[in-house]
Structure 1
């Protein structure tokens, strides 16, 4: 099992605490280029500016690159901790399979990409007054190159840290599956509280963020690996960055479309979590023949017994 295999390596919980410290340090280090660039551009005249306004100080493509660089550096810090603190190979952090199944990654990526593109186009053609065409060839293709390389690094860090590192660490500590699922999902959603979308839409949007954390966590536990969660998260963020932006979103990009409508949060926050996400899980469950949901989501995590040489036969 995905969590259980962490017992094969250096799994003492103090190691995870040290690893978390390493990751936090890497996050701060990764933020330095962005902070330096902002201060060089605007000096210290940032008083009264919110996060979105601060990000708009820089060219949007430079701002996007530097923001995503934070996650790339954090990913390096995480992989350093896994290798040198836990002596755990990259594959064992990714999946319980003998090798990473990239077909799962691309299936989840394609599933959410087709859905996101379809919904956006439907909304664009039914409510054209809510959008303006934002496409400018040179800035767009520069943004596309940045997004294709850097967005998967951002989403991979979040998946490897929350659904991988913390899921395995908490699972070996509490010896069950539901506590890691609950804690990692709430923390993942909670960290989005500082996104500009929350300021604009209100706290109700946290239902979406936390619900997304549960969706990705359920994928990981049911499928015994991160491949589906990695693909889903990368597809969602990449398509969003390329296809549509708005003045109040975390991703300020030279996308194809710009949403100029006045945003509001209501059923459009609840429906994805209660309707769309279960449909995604149903499709994946049918494709990958998921069974024994109770055990996989709520069962115990037992440390494998180490046989004595005399018992090996």
Structure 2
């Protein structure tokens, strides 16, 4: 079982406190280069403490800003892996999955499924609402973006998945001895951290339903599939394709993407469509492919310490 296998390792609560502190420290350290770069670009005389996040993101070259923005997640991921190995004595395999080995075919299945969906819906929206888009493609900046995105986006999304759907889910599950509490807590925290995204300022707090709902969907994937391979693929495809295909002045990713959305954004109850239509469809497809059963037990059952502990293989 994905959560209960943490009992094979050092799962004391105080270890998770130290681990979380280390991860937060890693993210803060990773933000230092971006802060220095913005400070150097603006200069002391031009610095304004009242500048919005949206304004700060436009100070640097888009690709340079994109790289530095994601660097903090890469550093956080390194700190997380260090904590998992040194504080908990846990292998990367056991943090990722309940299977003997990481199943990369699951990653690529989710990646391909989401990529196909985003491409189809993006092209469809462009064809039906061409007035909402501006051609933004420039070969050299886009090629640089492509390289940066392929390298940095999976590090960013992997950090979030390993931290929320793996590390915290296993730690909270071991403490609470059930599955529903880690699902709820990690999903709410994951969604709430997006409160500081510029999209929330532009669209309003209703967009938080989407972020928290996405957290629940990814958490359900992890619990039902007994591993985070599908969640890793889903998240990586979503952020990678978004960064490459379309940007807007009010989004977290300011990139030299193919298109720029120039429409006036708004969010209403249509924000519930992904949560109650699209996400259930994704879960249905994955459930059919991987034979998910016993949903009640997988999502709401107890987390019990096994009588015989077997340490997973390491890579």
TM-score tier, shorter chain, comes to over 0.9
Output the CA distance in 2 between the equivalents of 1:300 and 1:46: 52
Determine the structure 2 residue equivalent to 1:300.
302
Determine the structure 2 residue equivalent to 1:94.
96
Contact 1:221 1:296 in 2 (8 A): yes
Cα deviation for residue 55 of structure 1 reads 1.2
SS at match of 1:252: coil
Equivalent position to 2:250, from 248, 251, 263: 248
Determine the structure 1 residue equivalent to 2:15.
15
SS at match of 1:305: coil
- Can you list the C-alpha shifts for 1:196-228, whole angstroms capped at 9, x where unaligned? 000000000000000000000000000000000
- Give the unaligned 5+ runs of structure 1: 308-313
Equivalent position to 2:278, from 260, 276, 279: 276
Superposed structure 1 runs of 4+ greater than 6 Å apart? none
- Can you list the C-alpha shifts for 1:49-106, whole angstroms capped at 9, x where unaligned? 1111101100000000000000000000000000000000000000000000000000
Contact 1:26 1:74 in 2 (8 A): yes
Determine the structure 2 residue equivalent to 1:310.
none
Contact 1:75 1:153 in 2 (8 A): yes
- Can you list the C-alpha shifts for 1:269-311, whole angstroms capped at 9, x where unaligned? 110001100000000000000000000000000011249xxxx
TM-score (norm 1): 0.97
Output the CA distance in 2 between the equivalents of 1:109 and 1:77: 25
Output the CA distance in 2 between the equivalents of 1:41 and 1:216: 38
Cα deviation for residue 267 of structure 1 reads 3.5
TM-score (norm 2): 0.96
Output the CA distance in 1 between the equivalents of 2:165 and 2:201: 27
Equivalent position to 1:186, from 173, 188, 201: 188
- Give the unaligned 5+ runs of structure 2: 310-315
Determine the structure 1 residue equivalent to 2:269.
267
SS at match of 1:164: helix
Contact 1:52 1:248 in 2 (8 A): yes
Output the CA distance in 2 between the equivalents of 1:64 and 1:145: 12
Output the CA distance in 1 between the equivalents of 2:284 and 2:297: 17
Contact 1:46 1:54 in 2 (8 A): no
Cα deviation for residue 2 of structure 1 reads 0.2
Question: 2:135 matched to 1:139?
Answer: no
Between Structure 1 and Structure 2, how many residues are aligned? Answer: 307
Output the CA distance in 2 between the equivalents of 1:56 and 1:268: 29
Question: 2:157 matched to 1:152?
Answer: no
